[in-house]
Amino acid sequence: MALNEDNPPLTTDLIALDGAPQNKEGVMEFLLDLAVDAGRVTDFDQALQDLQEREKQATTGVGMGIGIPHAKSAAVVQPTIAFTRVPEGIDFDAVDDEPATLIFLLLVPESGGEDHLEMLSSLSRSLVHEATREALLEAESPERVQEIVLEAVS
Amino acid sequence: MIERTVTVVPEDGLHARPATKFVETVNEYDSEITVGTPDDGDDLVNAGSILAVTGLGIKTGESITIRAEGEDEQEAMSALESVLTTPETDEE
């Protein structure tokens, strides 16, 4: 998808290398808080509700240690990715029962059309590679995470 | 080994619930199953991984190539075709 380079979906204030809660609900709220603080989301409760609705359809614990909760929501200002990691791993209702260590929150505005699906599939395609997952687990700065993720989705 | 190309019917394409259902079905069979877009040629991915299947980015109306190899390849292929050609009826 065409991304605005001056206004990328992921900025360093949307990346928390540590400090996330150790459960699925908690991590989703933690990432959503980052998105609210970054001015990407106008209504925390609305966005959370939209994320939970999507989660009810099918888990976003897609396996290989990855969780990608995502939603299209009227509470979202612009396409946004927030990232955190939980080295110990958390239960994300994963299809392969593996604990999730890398968590991405994907949000797009209601008017975003299929943008979120394109962002989701580019990110998924890149996360299939073990090298990408390891680079994200080992990244020592938010800048490094941003570089890896933006390369994946652009 | 059998191979089919199927047009994806569910409205969301191969994402979310249809992708999950597809991968769950793949994992019910013993056959080795791989998928790709018709452009991928022999460069197919593991159909048992949601991440890999979602990564294909297949939308409704687009085609997917499925290859199955194993004792139950016929049964697996029929089950997968049925998942991909059934519209979703329980939209909330």
A129 an active-site residue?
no
Residue A114 identity (one-letter amino acid)? E
CA distance B42 to chain A (A): 17
CA distance B62 to chain A (A): 14
Question: What is the biggest distance separating any 2 CA atoms in chain B, rounded to whole angstroms?
Answer: 38
Q: Do B51 and A121 touch (CB under 8 A)?
A: no
Asked whether residue B33 is domain-assigned, the answer is yes
Q: What is the pLDDT, as a whole number, of residue B91?
A: 46
Domain A12-153 has CATH 3.40.1350.10: no
Using CB atoms, pick whichever of B49, B57, B59 lies closest to residue A64. B49
Q: What is the pLDDT, as a whole number, of residue B69?
A: 97
Residue A74 identity (one-letter amino acid)? A
In this structure, are residues B9 and B41 in contact, taking their beta carbons and an 8 Å threshold?
A: no
Q: Which domain holds residue B40?
A: 2-85
Asked whether residue B91 is domain-assigned, the answer is no
Parse chain A into domains and list their residue ranges.
12-153
B60 to chain A, any CB pair closer than 8 A? The answer is no
The pLDDT mean for chain B works out to 90
Which of B34, B37, B50 to mutate to test binding with chain A, by most A CBs within 10 Å of its CB? B50
Q: What is the pLDDT, as a whole number, of residue A58?
A: 87
Asked whether residue B10 is domain-assigned, the answer is yes
Asked whether residue B90 is domain-assigned, the answer is no
Rounded CA-CA distance A15/A82 in Å is 6
In this structure, what CATH number is given to the domain that contains residue B33?
3.30.1340.10
Q: What is the pLDDT, as a whole number, of residue B81?
A: 96
| Digitized pLDDT (tens) for each residue of chain A, 154 residues in all | 445 556 799 999 999 999 999 999 999 999 999 999 999 999 999 999 999 999 998 899 999 999 999 999 999 999 999 999 999 999 999 988 999 999 999 999 998 777 778 889 999 999 999 999 999 999 999 999 999 999 998 8
Q: What is the pLDDT, as a whole number, of residue B15?
A: 80
Asked whether residue B22 is domain-assigned, the answer is yes
Q: What is the pLDDT, as a whole number, of residue B41?
A: 80
Rounded CA-CA distance A21/A42 in Å is 23
Number of domains in chain B: 1
Tell me: the pLDDT tens digits for B31-67?
Answer: 999 999 988 888 899 999 999 999 999 999 999 999 9
Q: Could you tell me whether strands A100-109 and A66-67 are parallel, antiparallel, or unpaired per DSSP bridges? A: parallel
Given the residues A24, A40, A54, A70, the one annotated as active site: A70
Q: What is the pLDDT, as a whole number, of residue A106?
A: 95
Place of tokens 């090298």: A131
